Chain A
């Protein structure tokens, strides 16, 4: 336990829950990954909601007149600017770290989920041996292994790709046409676009970072899916769709962001100081 706290507290329980679901639903690993992702998303729903709420409040603050005024007024006095910012936080009951803390808590969960999917797929003798040691005794590992890694047209243990017509090959796409990488990139882009509020403040650095993130993240995740087991892609797609769903449930999805000229600022919800 103490020699491997990560394995004991995160990786092993995650892997076993994933395998338990796999066993319960009749040995369909793709479906197990989807259900496991839903389960994790449900458990972390309050954290996500808190993070989304905190991010929204901070974003709204960027569009607030008083906030913009102090940025201009104390542009050359960083110390005073910081004092004024703290005053506004205090006056309006805003915790500037409210969106960071849930993200930090979720980070090991996301990594754990990612690792548990790859561990369960055990594609080489060494990883299968690691899996054997991960499975709890009551799970009857001998009956579970080998996992059925086929799901739809995919082998979840390998990067996904559809064969090019006529046996055509490309050396930089050794697995064929990367359908799932495109779907992952697209859903990641959609999620970021739909959930990031636009800003009217041209100096809003958060909005600038968000805008860059909406480009980098889809590319990054698409690249991951190109190179890693497609089981991870199932997780990414499910997670992205659930993220959009959660935002929609909270009434925060901004569909107008999908239109080329339709970006509109979300209505400000920041309390005014009295």
Chain B
């Protein structure tokens, strides 16, 4: 009797401690979402799903022992789907987007993959939580070279066709020359950056936000700062560039429309209804943002709400476009994936639940 009480007590303790442990080592986060014209690809925990956009049915699902997926899958120019795992497998996987069949896996990193990679015509640039950027052969995933930067890398790199630009949690934006495999310049952002920079070919400028509650416009050639603008809170997401407008969000829930040349905000108080971590999605009418409160808002070019749709759960993942659909992957909602019409926010009759 006493033995069973003791064992029950220990099991209860184990359950409590396990339940109350945060995601520090197990790793949970918000879903990663990508889409092409046919499917949406959702990285959500144990599985990577492909959902047909025609009817929301499941095309395939992929899982791997000890794998856990949250970064947005990447569709490469040669038609691969690349997704990294934050599980103990530490794998970066190449899948066939039409069948979910694994093509290759790269297991040479020392830590997890939180960031999505960048793919060029022949190379994949994959930042890892171990602080290194890995360059892999696009076709096979073979390691070409790696560059140790230091602190964890959580954001996807971008390129101007010559240099690779990459933010780090160590407060810096780095420019890396893939030819010499060396850092060309780095610029202090005053705080960690979990979002990627956005490159504008119009003025060869990078726009990037940081946890210093600032947005920077940085010369892509030498890393010098053109301007910086204060936000009310941390900027988590990538800025979205539309001509001379830079759209930025912060975790206080404010949406900013900044002048590309001066950084001046022309939307002084556009605050939908909750914190925003996902990047604004550019649409023909303006931008679409998704809030932690579980709603999606379409804002016109003056910051006026055109429509809003409440989906439930909490939305941290950036909305993704496919044709005239806006795809949204809330955390903790009834369904894993919702599709709304870009024009009026009306929900499509299907929802994807992963089954």
Q: Which residues of A contact B22 (CB under 8 A)?
A: 115, 118-119, 127, 130
Instruction: Name B6's contact: one of A118, A119, A155, A213 (CB within 8 Å).
Output: A213
* Chain A 201-245 per-residue mask, 1 if CB under 8 angstroms from chain B, else 0: 000010011001100110010011001110100000000000000
In the assembly, what is the distance between CA of A124 and CA of B18, in Å? 17
Min C-beta distance of A111 to chain B, whole Å: 6
Q: Contact at B17–A124, with CB atoms within 8 Å?
A: no
In the assembly, what is the distance between CA of A122 and CA of B24, in Å? 6
In the assembly, what is the distance between CA of A202 and CA of B274, in Å? 64
In the assembly, what is the distance between CA of A75 and CA of B109, in Å? 65
* Chain B 1-45 per-residue mask, 1 if CB under 8 angstroms from chain A, else 0: 011001100100110111011111111111000000000000000
Q: Give me 30 A-to-B residue pairs in the complex whose CB atoms sit less than 8 angstroms apart, sorted by A's number.
A: A114-B20, A115-B20, A115-B21, A124-B27, A124-B29, A124-B70, A124-B86, A124-B114, A125-B29, A126-B23, A126-B28, A126-B316, A129-B236, A132-B211, A132-B251, A141-B211, A142-B211, A145-B169, A145-B191, A145-B192, A145-B211, A157-B24, A158-B25, A159-B25, A174-B89, A212-B6, A220-B10, A223-B14, A228-B24, A229-B25
In the complex, whether B242 has a CB less than 8 A from a CB of chain A is no
Q: Contact at B24–A114, with CB atoms within 8 Å?
A: no
Give the interface size bracket for B toward A.
35 or more
In the complex, whether B294 has a CB less than 8 A from a CB of chain A is no
Q: A111-B20, A114-B17, A212-B6 are in contact. Are A142 and B25 (CB under 8 A)?
A: no
In the complex, whether A128 has a CB less than 8 A from a CB of chain B is yes
Q: Contact at B190–A217, with CB atoms within 8 Å?
A: no
Residue of B with least CB distance to A142? B191
B contact face: mostly helix, strand, loop, or mixed: loop
Q: Which residues of A contact B7 (CB under 8 A)?
A: 216
Q: A220-B14, A229-B25 are in contact. Are A125 and B114 (CB under 8 A)?
A: yes
Q: Contact at B2–A209, with CB atoms within 8 Å?
A: yes
Q: Contact at A123–B25, with CB atoms within 8 Å?
A: yes
In the complex, whether A177 has a CB less than 8 A from a CB of chain B is no
